[in-house]
Amino acid sequence: MNFERITINPHQMGGVPCIRGLRIPVATVVSMVAEGMTREQILDAYPDLVPDDIYQALLYAAEAVRERQLPLVYRP
């Protein structure tokens, strides 16, 4: 999958994946969505973002989770 809007620069933000070279980590955007913020609220909080940035951040996060095994605890 090609993530044109996600950049990783070891000299910026410690090399964490960010949106389009901005100092806005993908994890920040994904967390805002997980906390229930609307797209409009996220765009208001970060005016440099556009709706496609949010969409691609979610796609990137989904792909990142697909690529590794996470320790999960079974709770009946």
Q: What is the CATH number of the domain that holds 59?
A: 1.10.10.10
Higher-confidence residue of 66 and 8: namely 8
Side-chain-side CA neighbours of 25 within 13 Å: the count stands at 10
pLDDT of residue 71 exceeding 70, the answer is no
Question: Is 24 domain-assigned?
Answer: yes
Structure pTM? 0.85
Question: Is 59 domain-assigned?
Answer: yes
The reported pLDDT for the residue numbered 1 is 76
Number of folded domains in the chain? Answer: 1
**Beta partners for 6?**
19
Question: Is 36 domain-assigned?
Answer: yes
Question: Is 28 domain-assigned?
Answer: yes
Q: Which residues of 7-24 are buried (b: 16+ CB within 10 A; e: fewer)?
A: eeeeeebeeebbbeeeeb
Question: Is 31 domain-assigned?
Answer: yes
